[in-house]
Structure 1
Amino acid sequence: MESVDYTSTFITIAPDTSAVAGVEPSGSTVAAQTFSLIASSPYTMRSSDVIFQVWAARHGASPDEWATFYATPRACLRSSDLGKRYGWGIHADADGRLAVYAVGSAEYAALADGTAPDGSAVTVKAAMRSSRR
């Protein structure tokens, strides 16, 4: 299984996004479900947990299908609309647990500069572009 989990990493918004603030996604979209899982319980779930739970909810799958789901490569949260469209950065702490931060906030700025809320260093990666150059 190829891992979709990050540790000590901050995923910034995509370079080609027009987002200037964090906007909560609405409806039953993948972005809305992903945001809800992370924002409702910051620093409790890993990327692999979030990605699987959103997929399982959308497909009526059971938890025992985890291995089957991850038997094929999966996109990581760098491809999420949270960073590409809605203005949210995603922080994975040293244990890989996630939280979201709105672009324009002081916390987002500190993380984008490479400093986690606890003062530790983070690797900064941008969300994937929506369009090819």
Structure 2
Amino acid sequence: MKHTTNYINTFIEVADDCPVSQAETPPEKKIKTLAELQYEQIIKNPYRYTSDDIIFECYALKNNIPESEKEQARMQFFSKGQPCLRCSPLSKRYGFGSHHNEEGKVALFPVESNEYQKFLNDPAVEKVKAMRSKKI
């Protein structure tokens, strides 16, 4: 069975305990963090990739998986469940909501933006919260 992290026509809101009220770009580090990798992939390519594409590509980059082995590695990777973008530091820490369109393709929206508010107020779009960083 193949597992998926994709959402359709869904908006992932920032976590209730997100520490920022305005979105922040993840800081650059010598070795790129998951937040940096996800941010770069989505912000440069809005609505081009699905959540599965983003999560696997970040995994492949972090683990130096060569292009020739990616297809097999992706099948193996999704043979078990993986954390979805509700667990992403972009929504938990950096203040970005993510919209997944009818095709499951993803784009980011800063929490303070008009677009973010439009998604919150659109009854046609399902809303889910990002995972909290701390237990209550």
TM range (shorter): over 0.9
Residues in 1 aligned to 2:113 and 2:98: alpha-carbon distance in whole angstroms: 13
What amino acid maps onto 1:71 in structure 2?
Answer: S
Residues in 1 aligned to 2:58 and 2:101: alpha-carbon distance in whole angstroms: 21
TM-score by length of 1: 0.93
TM-score by length of 2: 0.91
Matched, 1:69 2:77: yes
Runs of at least 4 residues off by over 2 Å: none
Q: Which residue of 2 aligns with 1:25?
A: 26
Q: In the TM superposition, what whole-angstrom CA distance separates every residue of 1:40-66 from its partner, at most 9, and x where no partner exists?
A: 010000000000000000001132211
3-state SS, counterpart of residue 25 of structure 1: coil
1:114 positional shift: 2.6
Q: Which residue of 2 aligns with 1:9?
A: 10
Alignment of 1:43-54 (within 5 A): 43-54=47-58
Q: Which residue of 1 aligns with 2:42?
A: 38
Q: In the TM superposition, what whole-angstrom CA distance separates every residue of 1:49-96 from its partner, at most 9, and x where no partner exists?
A: 000000000001132211011112100000000010000000000000
Alignment of 1:75-114 (within 5 A): 75-114=83-122
Residues in 2 aligned to 1:112 and 1:2: alpha-carbon distance in whole angstroms: 28
3-state SS, counterpart of residue 91 of structure 2: helix
What amino acid maps onto 1:29 in structure 2?
Answer: T
